[in-house]
Amino acid sequence: MTLSWYLVLAAILFTIGAVGVLVRRNAIVVFMCVELMLNSVNLTLVTFARANGTVDGQIMAFFVMVVAAAEVVVGLAIIMSIYRTRRSASVDDANLLKY
Amino acid sequence: MTQTLGGGETVVFWVLGPIALAGALGMVLSRNAVHSALWLVNTMLAFGVFYVIQEAPFLGAVQIIVYTGAIMILFLFVLMLVGRDTSDSVVETLRGQRVAAIILGIGFAGLVGAGIARATEDLPTDGLGDPGGAGNIPAISELLFTKYLLAFEVTSALLITAAVGAMVLAHIEREPGSRLSQKELSRARFLSERQGTLPGPGVFARANSVAVPAILPDGRVAEESLATGLEPQEPDEMPRPTGRGQLGSPDAALGTLDPAPLEGRDR
């Protein structure tokens, strides 16, 4: 087994997350799929850090985690305020921004 | 120069890799959003172990604590607030979008996966040495506070902005006086027809299911105790405890719906 298996696994999980973003209609589940994509990128970063023999990749993954946490907090707050006005968490119902 | 990894790591990878994959698939495929969140927790935990065996023990711990411990719990909190029964609609807004997305996904995974596999076939596995083990946290902190100090400081600004933004977005402004105070509620209750509390479901009834309405002492159904949101249904009721001598035959005593005489009750 070589390190490229980690990268292949991360690519597959990234794809599953991307397909989930396209397919699912519940805004919270879409957010979870985005989280999965961020995580698989983190796995790639950690794997390359190991291959290169430096810790820089791990620090980049660390920053990705921090940004993901901030993104989740704001995103969930937006979903909640949309749900309050529209009684729905579906991404199809929140289409009034275009008018 | 291709270096193969150790046997223990291979075993861990081939055990946890399918688990992570199953978690991701389960998240996308399960219709219930809570199930999706739990599947994702599964994947996140597997990722944490991956980080640990990939010489990033600090990142593994942070993954488990921050992602599965904080972020996923936040997700579950919001799911419970928003209503976990807001399940996904199966209606396709754009026709053929689902099939197109799946084909795109398979194509993308094949392309990127095969490309990465070919390109990194002979990826050297230098390993981190000491920074990958006991010296992981000192190595990370040294880089974080020297080379990446600016990014670290900007991160703190980002976190504060996110916290303030979440508070602003989730805050509800209420006019003072738009909610009844306890005193006003109490006064309104004493001016109403019924001062006491409503009877709970099943009071004086012969079953303790919430679907059974309370029965007033004279045998009528108390309308106020009808459970909301429940279909009226026939619960399994205990036979009314009436004395057999009053009704004659033993069969007649079982399951009559007539209100029993008060002195016949032995409760």
- Residue A68 is predicted with a pLDDT of 92
- In this prediction, residue B42 has a pLDDT band, given cuts at 50, 70 and 90, of very high
Token couple for B184: 């006003």
Of A3, A69, A84, the CB nearest to B66: A69
The pLDDT of B232-259, averaged and rounded, is 52
pTM for this prediction: 0.73
The pLDDT of B89-108, averaged and rounded, is 83
- Picking from B142, B75, B7, the residue whose alpha carbon sits closest to that of residue A77 is B75
What is the Cα–Cα distance from B15 to B5, expressed in whole angstroms? 15
Reduced to 3 states, what is the DSSP secondary structure of residue B221? strand
A90: phi then psi, degrees, rounded to nearest 5:
-90, 140
- In this prediction, residue B132 has a pLDDT band, given cuts at 50, 70 and 90, of confident
How many other CB atoms sit within 10 Å of the CB of residue B207?
14
- Residue B236 is predicted with a pLDDT of 62
- Contacts from B237-244 at CB under 8 Å and sequence distance 24+? B237/B205, B237/B206, B237/B207, B237/B212, B238/B206, B238/B207, B239/B206, B240/B206, B241/B265, B241/B266, B241/B267
- Residue A89 is predicted with a pLDDT of 77
- In this prediction, residue B245 has a pLDDT band, given cuts at 50, 70 and 90, of very low
Q: List Cα–Cα distances, B147 to A12, B134, B142, B150, in angstroms.
A: 32, 21, 8, 8
**A42 vs B258, residue with greater confidence:** A42
Smallest CA–CA distance, residue A86 to chain B, in Å, is 11
What is the Cα–Cα distance from B78 to A48, expressed in whole angstroms? 35
**B251 vs A59, residue with greater confidence:** A59
Q: How far from each other are the two terminal CA atoms of chain B, in whole angstroms?
A: 86
- Statement: residue A15 has pLDDT above 70: yes
- In this prediction, residue B199 has a pLDDT band, given cuts at 50, 70 and 90, of low
- Statement: residue B105 has pLDDT above 60: yes
**B6 vs B254, residue with greater confidence:** B6
Q: What is the DSSP string of A30-73?
A: HHHHHHHHHHHHHHHHHHHHHHHT-SHHHHHHHHHHHHHHHHHH
- Statement: residue B8 has pLDDT above 60: yes
Q: Which residues pair with A75 in a beta bridge?
A: none
- Residue B22 is predicted with a pLDDT of 95
With 0-12 / 13-18 / 19 or more C-beta atoms within 10 angstroms meaning exposed / middle / buried, residue B87 is middle
Query: For chain B, where are the alpha helices, taking DSSP H only?
Result: 7-29, 33-53, 57-62, 72-82, 97-119, 136-144, 149-170, 182-191, 244-247, 250-253
CA-nearest residue to A5 within chain B is: B117
- Picking from B241, B162, B231, the residue whose alpha carbon sits closest to that of residue B205 is B241
Q: List Cα–Cα distances, B181 to A18, B177, B178, B185, B219, in angstroms.
A: 49, 8, 9, 6, 37
Residue carrying the six token digits 């990446």? B148
Q: Which amino acid is at B205?
A: A
Average pLDDT taken over every residue of chain B: 79
How many other CB atoms sit within 10 Å of the CB of residue A88?
17
CA-nearest residue to B87 within chain A is: A26
Query: Positive or negative CA dihedral for A42, A44, A46, A49?
Result: negative
- Residue A97 is predicted with a pLDDT of 61
Q: What is the DSSP string of B45-61?
A: HHHHHHHHHTT-HHHHH
Token couple for B211: 């679907």
Tell which of B31, B120, B161 to mutate to test the A interface (max A CBs under 10 Å).
Answer: B120
Residue carrying the six token digits 């509620």? B185
Of A3, A15, A50, the CB nearest to B105: A15
- Statement: residue B190 has pLDDT above 70: yes
The pLDDT of B173-199, averaged and rounded, is 80
Reduced to 3 states, what is the DSSP secondary structure of residue B120? coil
- Statement: residue B264 has pLDDT above 50: no
- In this prediction, residue B266 has a pLDDT band, given cuts at 50, 70 and 90, of very low
- Taking an 8 Å cut-off on Cβ atoms, the answer to whether A51 and B89 are in contact is no
- In this prediction, residue B172 has a pLDDT band, given cuts at 50, 70 and 90, of confident
The pLDDT of B224-240, averaged and rounded, is 64
pLDDT in tens, B56-65: 999 999 999 9
- Statement: residue B189 has pLDDT above 80: yes
Q: Which amino acid is at B114?
A: A
- Residue B233 is predicted with a pLDDT of 62
- Statement: residue A13 has pLDDT above 50: yes
Q: Which residues of A touch B88 (CB under 8 A)?
A: 24-26, 29, 90
- Statement: residue B241 has pLDDT above 70: no
- Statement: residue B247 has pLDDT above 50: no
- Statement: residue B217 has pLDDT above 90: no
- Statement: residue B265 has pLDDT above 80: no
Smallest CA–CA distance, residue B10 to chain A, in Å, is 6
Token couple for A8: 């292949």
Among A3-17, B14-28, B49-63, B162-176, the least confident range: B162-176
- Residue B147 is predicted with a pLDDT of 92
- Statement: residue B267 has pLDDT above 70: no
Q: What is the DSSP string of B36-49?
A: HHHHHHHHHHHHHH
Residue carrying the six token digits 């640990």? B52
- In this prediction, residue B200 has a pLDDT band, given cuts at 50, 70 and 90, of low
- Residue B148 is predicted with a pLDDT of 93
